[in-house]
């Protein structure tokens, strides 16, 4: 008898995806606010944002948007979302290390991707075994 139940992502993977999505959506909102207010006429706002680099903010904004798209693809059980997530996450961490230098707090940025890797590995049949009904 064949199992025709749709495959589920699992609670752990859903939790990590939702946490990531919330963090990256907040990052997108903050980046947009910083880019908009960096040209403000208010002197106090300009002084507070003087140390921010618009190029870095733009790069982080683009990476965050691509990561949100990859997380949506993961929720839709598309394997391309997993590939995009890990490629962009590695690029984001490498860019962060190259622009700010390696600091011990940088190790914290590996927590969610490692948990995502573990949960994707545990549910690999959802993404790569297309012979069975989704």
pLDDT, tens digit, for every residue of 79-124?
Answer: 999 999 999 999 988 888 888 888 888 888 889 999 999 999 988 8
Q: What per-residue string of b and e applies to 82-99 under the rule 16 or more CB within 10 Å gives b? A: bebbeebbeebeeebeee
What does pTM read for this prediction?
0.83
Q: Of 89, 93, 40, 49, nearest to 68 (Cα)?
A: 89
Phi, psi of 76 (to 5 degrees): -85, 10
In a domain, 5, yes or no: no
Q: Is residue 50 situated within a structural domain? A: yes
Alpha helices, H only, 1-134: 11-37, 43-48, 54-75, 79-100, 111-122, 124-128
- Asked, for residue 6, whether it belongs to a domain, the answer is no
Closest CA relative to residue 87, chosen from 69, 61, 107: 69
User: Does 33 map to a domain?
Assistant: yes
Give the three-state DSSP class for 42.
coil
**Which pLDDT value is given to residue 70?**
95
Band of pLDDT at residue 34, cut at 50, 70 and 90: confident
* Residue 2 belongs to a domain: no
DSSP letter at 51 equals T
pLDDT-above-70 percentage for the chain = 84
Could you give phi then psi for residue 92, rounded to 5 degrees?
Answer: -65, -45
Range of the domain at 64: 11-128
- Whether residue 35 is contained in a domain is answered as yes
Q: What is the DSSP string of 63-89?
A: HHHHHHHHHHHHHTT-HHHHHHHHHHH
Residue 132 pLDDT exceeds 70: no
Residue 106 confidence (pLDDT) = 81
Percent of the chain with pLDDT over 90: 40
Question: Among 5-9, 55-59, 87-91, whose mean pLDDT is lowest?
Answer: 5-9
């Amino acid at each position: 008898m064949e199992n025709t139940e749709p495959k589920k992502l699992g609670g752990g993977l859903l939790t990590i995806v939702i946490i990531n999505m919330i963090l990256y959506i907040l990052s997108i909102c903050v980046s947009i606010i910083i880019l908009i207010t960096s040209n403000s006429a208010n002197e106090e706002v300009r002084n507070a944002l003087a140390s921010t680099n618009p190029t870095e903010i733009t790069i982080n904004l683009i990476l965050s948007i691509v990561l949100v798209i990859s997380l949506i693809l993961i929720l839709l059980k598309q394997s391309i979302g997993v590939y995009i997530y890990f490629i962009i996450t590695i690029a984001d961490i490498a860019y962060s290390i190259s622009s700010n230098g390696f600091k011990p707090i940088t190790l914290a940025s590996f927590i969610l991707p490692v948990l995502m890797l573990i949960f994707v590995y545990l549910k690999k049949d959802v993404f790569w075994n297309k012979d069975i009904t989704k």
